[in-house]
Structure 1
Amino acid sequence: MSNLQMKLEAFIEDVNREDGFTLQLFEKITNLLFFFIKWGGIPLVLYLLFEITRW
């Protein structure tokens, strides 16, 4: 139990740091999701708009 408590305290300390590993990981995930939305979503929306205008 104390091992789990020590890991939880280390995680909380890491989250509270401004340059912690957890925040860097979330930043990378967010940037990756934005990249996929930008390069996958914009062409999809343009394609859908093009198809709607052909009606």
Structure 2
Amino acid sequence: MSRYSTPGQVVPRSGVYRCSSEDGHVFESTDVKGHRFPPLPRDCPARGGCPSTADHP
């Protein structure tokens, strides 16, 4: 299973997900395992996000 999540996909693990693009745009979202990954802002050129911090033990 890929750690990369796209909007609408069920999040595989809890944590802070981050999308960043080459143009410097950054978007962070705190998500809970089993919930759906939220939509990205309209101006976000990325297609989804990867966990940037581990979930809390």
Bigger RCO (CA 8 Å, 6+ sep)? 2
TM range (shorter): under 0.3
TM-score, normalising length: structure 2: 0.19
